[in-house]
Amino acid sequence: MKVHHLPGAKYSPKVLLHQVLEEVDELEGIMVIKNYKDGPVTVTWTNMKAETASFMVHRLNLEFYYEIFSVSSDHDQGTPD
């Protein structure tokens, strides 16, 4: 699994959904986190094993950690900057 985010990129929901639809035939599963304007956050995913969904959430959590603390994702730095 690879989590891909372009640093500094700010996609609108419409642009991001359009990009996903362009790759729909190659996708095995999708997990969507929706943050509504009035506050609620919901998570939905396609038919996949619970282990796969859990791994996706864990990997995303690590990517956010790397982004926030500027830690290299190849673990060559042991502590946050």
Provide the residue-wise pLDDT of the chain in tens; the chain has 81 residues: 555 665 666 778 888 888 888 888 998 888 888 888 898 988 888 888 888 888 888 888 888 788 778 765 554 444 444
- Bridge partners of 42, per DSSP, are 34
User: Collapsing DSSP states into helix, strand and coil, what is residue 52?
Assistant: helix
What distance in Å separates the CA atoms of residue 62 and residue 5, rounded to the nearest whole number? Answer: 13
pLDDT score recorded for residue 81: 44
pTM > 0.75: no
C-alpha separations of 64 from 5, 7, 9, 56 in Å: 10, 11, 14, 12
**Domains of the chain, residue spans:** 29-81
- In 3D space, the residue among 52, 54, 34 whose CA is nearest the CA of residue 43 turns out to be 34
